[in-house]
Structures are given as structure tokens and as C-alpha cells.
Amino acid sequence: MSLVIKLLGAGVSLLAGYVGTKVVDTVWEKATGNKPPKGHDDDVPTTLRTALTFALISASVSAVIQVLANRGTQRAITRFAKTQDIV
């Protein structure tokens, strides 16, 4: 059952990462009025400052999501282990 919880944790982490990316992209677009710099848009010129700012914000959000997902998974594993001891 621990494997199931780990797989569920990985799935939650992936889903949270996807949602976090969409939120950062939406907030960036609302705040700046431009699409987020992704490196493949030839029609939208991107300055180095803009690209670095977006990368910093995006990486920060990703790190927070990763930490929260790992903590949640560890709590679930611990809780599951306790319930197995009781039963």
C-alpha cells in the first residue's frame, strides 16, 4: 500500500506542478499584458530581464510546490504506517 501512496503523491505533485504553471502564466499575462516568455515565440520580443524575472518567479513557485507535495506525501505515508500498526 505504501507504493500506492507514493504513486498518488507523484500524481498529486505532477498535477500541482501543472496547475502552478498555469497560475504563474495567467498571473504573468494579467500583470504584464504579455504572454510569458517560453523561448519559442518568435513574434514576441523578450528582453533578458523579462526572461530572468519570469524564470525566477516560475522556479520559486515550482520549488514551493515540490516541497509541499513532498511533505504531504510524507505525512500520508506516516499516517498510513500508524493506521497499519493499530490494525
The reply to whether 71 falls in a domain is yes
The reply to whether 24 falls in a domain is no
Residues 6+ apart with CB under 8 A from 24: 36, 57, 58, 61
Q: What is the pLDDT of residue 2?
A: 67
Which pTM value belongs to this model?
A: 0.75
The reply to whether 28 falls in a domain is no
Domain region containing 68: 1-12+55-87
Q: What is the pLDDT of residue 83?
A: 73
Q: How many structural domains does the chain have?
A: 1
The reply to whether 22 falls in a domain is no
What are the tens digits of pLDDT across the range 30-56?
A: 999 988 988 776 666 788 899 899 999
Distance CA 39, CA 45 (A): 10
pLDDT at 16 over 70: yes
- Residue 80 dihedral angles phi and psi, to the nearest 5°: -65, -40
